[in-house]
Chains A and B, each alone.
Chain A
Amino acid sequence: MLESEGFREVYNLKGGIRAWQGHEVEGPPGMGLEHLEGIETPGDIILLAYGMEESLGGFYKEAAGRTRNSDAEQLLTKLAGVEEKHKNQLFKLYREVAGGEEDRGALESPVAGGVLEGGLSSEQVVQRIMGAKSSLADVFSIAMMFEAQAMDLYMRYSEAMEQEQARTLLHDLAEQEKAHLKALGIIKDKEMV
């Protein structure tokens, strides 16, 4: 039926989601999309992403302070540092896209407070938050959950965008989160042996 419409390459995931061994995320289709209000330009998107990276970095920092597991503390501190790098990348991108001589303060001030990567509310985060006794494995699962939720959120944002440039930017951000997930998997394999 759809051959005439050009759908030539369609794959059926054998066994459906039950067969899926990779990361999973949860939450309704509209979760986190409330932050899209007034977001139109690529500059706005960068601002939003900046806020999410900042919140996640803050979470990692706070969690590092709560844990009594020194390995977990090290990992969380490292992850907080990674988020800081993302912020620097986003700031650079913002200057390129916005074209002006905007200073960092322009990005720091309007960011959505309390919004973590992935659009999870603070309450949802607290429900899943690690305690002082969380093991390194727990920390990895939490970090991976955030990164997977963030990737999913950026993809849902991209669906909501009309401008091709905005969609491409969001795909790039999703791609980066996918890379973080992979990197976390590699660190986990090294640390958990």
Chain B
Amino acid sequence: MKLKSIFAPVRNMTAEEASAYMEKHREGSYTLLDVRQEREYTKARIPGAKLMPLPELTDRLGELDPRKPVIVY
């Protein structure tokens, strides 16, 4: 399953841009979404990321606030 088939439209953000975005915006005003597998999330993640592995994404979308910007990795 491709991210782009779930979220449309998707724009790219470089790591630098994402870092600047997170610094500028308050926690809770956006969602940082980790769509990797749990073991990858457990090993290393960006602080504050919410785990939602890609295969579960379509079933769990209700947990996300569609009004908030989402940064996915």
Instruction: Report A-chain residues with C-beta under 8 Å of the C-beta of B12.
Output: 11-12, 14
**Chain B 48-73 interface residues, beta-carbon cutoff 8 Å to A:** 48-51, 61, 64, 66-73
Contact with A along B1-39 (1 / 0, CB 8 A): 001011111111111101101110011100000001010
Q: Cβ of B28 and Cβ of A20 under 8 Å apart?
A: no
**A95 adjacent to chain B (CB < 8 Å):** no
Q: Known: A5-B61, A24-B45. Is A19-B8 also a contact (CB below 8 A)?
A: no
Structural contact, A1 and B42, CB atoms closer than 8 A: no
Task: Tell me, in angstroms, the Cα distance from A154 to B68 when the chains sit together.
Answer: 19
Contact A19 B7 (CB under 8 A): no
Q: Which listed residue (B7, B11, B22, B43) contacts A2, Cβ 8 A?
A: B7
CA distance A10 to B6 in the complex (A): 10
> Which chain B positions have C-beta within 8 A of A182?
23
Interface size on B, residues (CB 8 A): 45
User: Which label, helix, strand, loop or mixed, suits the secondary structure of the B interface?
Assistant: mixed
State which size class the interface on A falls in: 35 or more
Most chain B beta carbons < 10 A, residue from A10, A27, A175: A10
Judging by beta carbons under 8 Å apart, are A17 and B44 in contact?
A: yes
Question: Is A155 positioned at the interface, with any CB of B under 8 Å from its CB?
Answer: yes
B46 and A22 contacting across the interface, CB-CB below 8 Å: yes
Tell me if A99 is interfacial: C-beta within 8 Å of chain B: no
Q: Which of B10, B47, B73 contacts A152 (CB 8 A)?
A: B47
Q: Which of these, A1, A14, A155, contacts B15 with CB under 8 Å?
A: A14
B73 and A26 within 8 A (CB): no
- Report the nearest A residue to B62, measured CB to CB: A5
> Which residue of chain A lies nearest to B44 when distances are taken between CB atoms in the complex?
A24
From known contacts A22-B46, A24-B47, A29-B51, infer whether A10 and B41 are also in contact, taking CB-CB under 8 Å: no
Inter-subunit contact B38/A7 (CB<8 Å): no
CA distance A16 to B66 in the complex (A): 22
Query: Taking A22-B46, A29-B51, A152-B47 as contacts, is the C-beta distance between A7 and B19 under 8 angstroms?
Result: no
Q: Collect the chain A residues with CB atoms within 8 Å of residue B18's CB.
A: 11, 13, 20
The answer on a CB contact under 8 Å between B66 and A5 is: yes
Asked whether, in the complex, the Cβ of B61 is within 8 Å of the Cβ of A25, the reply is no
**Bound complex: CA A21 to CA B46 (Å):** 10
List the 4 shortest-distance A-B pairs measured between CB atoms, nearest first.
Answer: A171-B28, A6-B66, A13-B73, A9-B69
